[in-house]
Structure 1
Amino acid sequence: MKATAKDLRFHSKELLSTVNRGEEVIITYRGKPCAKLVPYDEFEKDKNIKSNLFGMWKDNDIIDDVDSYVRDIRKRRF
């Protein structure tokens, strides 16, 4: 099923019930597909896909504790 961004805004409950029935909904913006609503169970199957971003600090010799490093960086913003 296809729906526009306006449909998502005004008819989100109906779109969610469509997804709960097992259908996929493709959201279009200005006539081009930009998002896809799928049932949550199908999303869990794709969860095993590995990303290059996860573990990128794993072998970094300069920083021992990544959590404290990120907290220190964020402190400077506020």
Structure 2
Amino acid sequence: MIPMGRYRHFKGNYYEVLCLAKNSETEEQMVVYKCEKDGSLWVRPMDMFVEKVRVEGSLKPRFHFIGNLD
């Protein structure tokens, strides 16, 4: 389980996690999130959302939790 709120993608954009969902075919946990820049909606498997990615030789979270939205 991840907290709802604001996240920073490792490439720099900011997103708001809106809710968690389940894939109807596989029951895989999915994260539904919205881009702050243009309001577009995205969905990504939970495992990918929380994984670490290699950036300039070091591992960093794909999405870093910034905080709750008030």
Q: Could you say which structure has the higher helix fraction?
A: 1
- Place the TM-score, normalised by the shorter chain, in its bin: under 0.3
Please give the TM-score of this superposition, normalised by the length of structure 2.
0.22
TM superposition score normalised by structure 1 = 0.21
The one of the two structures with greater contact order (alpha-carbon pairs below 8 A, sep at least 6) is 2
